[in-house]
Amino acid sequence: MTLTEVVRGTGLAPSTAHRLLTTLQSEGFVQFETTASRWFVGPSAHLVGIACHPQRRQAFS
């Protein structure tokens, strides 16, 4: 999604949204595709999702 879409969806100021996205990018939670000027879910977010999946949590109980 574009920065504009993030701003519209969250109600954050553009500078705040950009700062949060770049922080998330530094930790791998989002990625920025320069050719498309869009933000995407990053590998760290996928790993968190996998770790929190209900079936996976049952396997560790």
pLDDT at residue 3, as a whole number:
98
pLDDT at residue 49, as a whole number:
87
Domain count, the chain: 1
What's the burial of 24, exposed, middle or buried (CB within 10 Å: 0-12/13-18/19+)?
middle
pLDDT at residue 42, as a whole number:
96
pLDDT at residue 54, as a whole number:
74
**What is the per-residue pLDDT across 9-59, written as a single tens digit (0 to 9) for each?**
999 999 999 999 999 999 999 999 999 999 999 999 988 888 887 766 555
pLDDT at residue 6, as a whole number:
98
pLDDT at residue 50, as a whole number:
86
**Is residue 42 within 8 Å of 24, Cβ to Cβ?**
yes
Q: Domain range holding 10?
A: 3-59
